[in-house]
Chain A
Amino acid sequence: MSPPSPLIHLRALRHRVAGRLVLDLPDWRVEEGEHGLLLGPSGSGKTTLLQIIAGLLSPTTGQVMVAGQDMTSLSEGVRDTVRGACVGLVFQQLHLVNALTLADNLRLAQRLAGYPLDDDRVAHLLARIGLDGRAEARPQQLSQGERQRLAIARAVVNRPALVLADEPTSALDDANCQRLLDLMLEQAAENGATLLIATHDARLKARLPARLTLAASVLEVVA
């Protein structure tokens, strides 16, 4: 019997932007449950890599396997569906929907991923991030830390296999940084998700192992 396939498996991945090679990963894999960091200075292609893994971006060449699905061979529509079901995203700018209440922000994720609305799940998550009783508030009424917690709740609401976070702690002080990481690890454990954080924040290195370090020098390789 072959061992279970890795959660993420990139083969011969190369990505160019305007002719410039920004990513070159011959073979890189992340096994289920292997939380870790994606390191590299600003501009080293961390965000681009996260988007490729999430199927938001197609690499120039190479294969992207996520949860057993070959993202590079899927149509855009199917990729949207796979992403909705298997991948939770936490953006650097959070991108919460201000027109909707906190509860509806979470419900929207359930709905767009094609899952039935589960109000118990929404209430449970709001309680876990300390926002119970504020389900009908709007994101713009929250503090930065509260908004960040809501973004994490939205990423895990559908119990995805993989949670990708892009610089989630860059705007936080030390105490909040540790608290947020605690929350992410706790939610990842509770929902059986694997956590991959793209960051250049040294404070996280003490808590999680680096899975990949992108060198700024990659940018200088001209195709």
Chain B
Amino acid sequence: MSIRAFSGGGLGPFGLSLAYLRQNRLATSLNLLLLALGVAAIAGLALIDHQMQGRLTRDVAGIDLVVGAKGSPLQLILSSVYQADVPTGNVPLSTLDDLRRNPLVKQAIPVAMGDSYHGFRIVGTTADYPAHYQAALAQGRMFATAMEATVGASVARTANLHVGDSFAGSHGLTPGGEVHAHSPYTVVGILAPTGTVVDRLVLTPVESVWAVHDHHHHHHDDGDDDDHDGDHDADHAGDHAAEAGAQPPREVTAILVRYASPLAAARLPRAINSETGAQAASPAVELVRLMSLLGAGLDAFRAVGVLLVVTSALGTFVALTNALQQRRYDLAVMRSLGASRARIVIQIGVEALLVSGAGTVAGLALAHGGIALFALLSPKARDFGLSPFTLVPADLGLLGLGIAVAAVAAALPAVQAYRTDVARTLARG
């Protein structure tokens, strides 16, 4: 048996510890369980936190500013960058043209939303959008003309879409809206997974969104749109002289902006917010705000994990102290058989380390295994890009914590054992 070989015939500090832990199976298992649960809670949170931050940061990477309709800036970021909230409204297409002409702007990418397919948002944009997220084509090609769609990896998998398929979007961003059966999309390409928001989107030229809703307008007269009509035509009639008249307004939901120079950060948001009807929101600022909102909840959860670890540290301490009370004769006998005081202290230390080490490793395995299972069972977690196979720095910290727990739990029992009066213990029997 390899363990025997490792531990001096099973009677070294390691082998003896195993023998004693086996003897107290129940107490040992309960302690291991407590410690493992505590560590798993903390490790799991750290893993989710780490990957969520990574995901949130990836989605927003490179986007310096988002311009959209006035409203909550956080809502604007959530709706147009993370595709998670309802849009604040629309802005006229001229805003995009103005931004593109602005020397402070390096790139301005429009996004136009309103419809969905199987709960996945249909986003009217340009080829710049998938390029920004470095989305590669898995099959087919990128959308080029109206009613062509290139779909994200999760969309293709979940809705079972293939190149050449056609489908109709439904009105609204949640399933159950009216189906635009009159204007079906054709899938021309499928994107490879990116671990970003793109995986969950149906991408199409902005013109598709307009076309679908032009049709829509013939049937439903939407009072809200008429309001925008007035603004739009009054301000930018010259820009779109050719299309004016019976054509409905050309609008986009938001514009993702990359700055040409750092100077833009100082000037552009203020200029947009004060001089136009649109608002400019900084994803970096809103991300910090979002994190601090989520942070409170995560902190509460983390506190529970710490509480579990502290409880199990106490449990290990109590178990070791108890075991030592029962074993003071054994330890005295070990001394009488020739073992030094140091050997006895090492014995206790090894035993504590064994329990806490096993508990910590089991906890980490539980956390990563749990997330693996979660990712396996829940497509949402998979779309989120949750991967159990990432080691986060917190894992190493938790290993350190496990060793600290062992040191604390073993300290007092070790001192007691060190000080034991062997002669008196043996005589008292």
Contact = CB atoms under 8 A, between A and B. Distances in A.
B336 A89 contact: yes
Most B CB within 10 A of own CB, among A54, A97, A98, A109 = A97
Nearest to A96: B333
Given A56-B422, A80-B340, A99-B330, A91 B11 contact: no
B426 A91 contact: yes
Interface in B333-374: 333-341, 343
B114 interface: no
Interface in A100-117: 100, 104, 107-109, 111-114, 117
B8 A111 contact: yes
B429 A91 contact: yes
B338 A84 contact: yes
Nearest to B427: A47
Contact of A84 (B337, B423, B426): B337
Given A47-B427, A95-B426, A80 B339 contact: yes
A51 interface: yes
Contact of B12 (A51, A99, A111): A111
A113 B343 CA distance: 12
B423 A57 contact: yes
Nearest to B12: A111
Contact of B333 (A77, A92, A95): A95
A199 to B, nearest CB: 15
A112 B19 contact: no
Interface string B6-37: 00111110001001101100000000000000
B427 A111 contact: no
A102 B23 CA distance: 15
Contacts of A54: 336
B11 A56 contact: no
Contact of A104 (B10, B332, B335, B429): B10
Interface in A178-201: none
A113 B11 CA distance: 12
A23 interface: no
Nearest to B337: A112
Contacts of B422: 56
A2 interface: no
B82 interface: no
Contacts of A117: 8-9, 11
Interface string B310-333: 000000000000000000011011
A93 interface: yes
Given A95-B329, A97-B330, A99-B20, A111 B11 contact: yes
A150 interface: no
Given A104-B10, A111-B9, A99 B426 contact: no
A57 B426 CA distance: 11
Nearest to A98: B23
Interface string B386-429: 00000000000000000000000000000000000011001101
A159 interface: no
Interface residues of A, number: 32
B340 A109 contact: no
A84 B426 CA distance: 16
A34 interface: no
Interface in A66-93: 76-77, 80-81, 83-85, 89, 91-93
B9 A107 contact: yes
Nearest to B8: A111
A83 B336 contact: yes
A218 to B, nearest CB: 17
B423 A51 contact: yes
A76 B341 contact: yes
Contacts of A80: 335, 338-340
Contacts of A77: 340-341
Nearest to B342: A77
A165 B422 CA distance: 17
Contacts of B330: 95, 97, 99
Contact of B338 (A48, A83, A99): A83
Contacts of B20: 99
A98 B329 CA distance: 11
Interface in B272-292: none
Contacts of A83: 336, 338
Contacts of A95: 329-330, 332-333, 336, 426, 429
A113 B9 CA distance: 14
A104 B16 CA distance: 10
A112 B338 contact: yes
Given A51-B426, A104-B10, A111-B8, A99 B339 contact: no
B42 to A, nearest CB: 33
Contacts of A93: 329, 426, 429
A164 to B, nearest CB: 10
B385 to A, nearest CB: 49
A89 B333 CA distance: 9
Given A98-B23, A104-B10, A104-B19, A81 B338 contact: yes
Given A56-B335, A80-B340, 19 more contacts: A47-B427, A51-B423, A56-B422, A56-B423, A76-B341, A77-B340, A81-B340, A84-B338, A84-B339, A91-B426, A93-B426, A95-B426, A99-B23, A100-B11, A104-B10, A104-B19, A108-B16, A109-B338, A154-B337
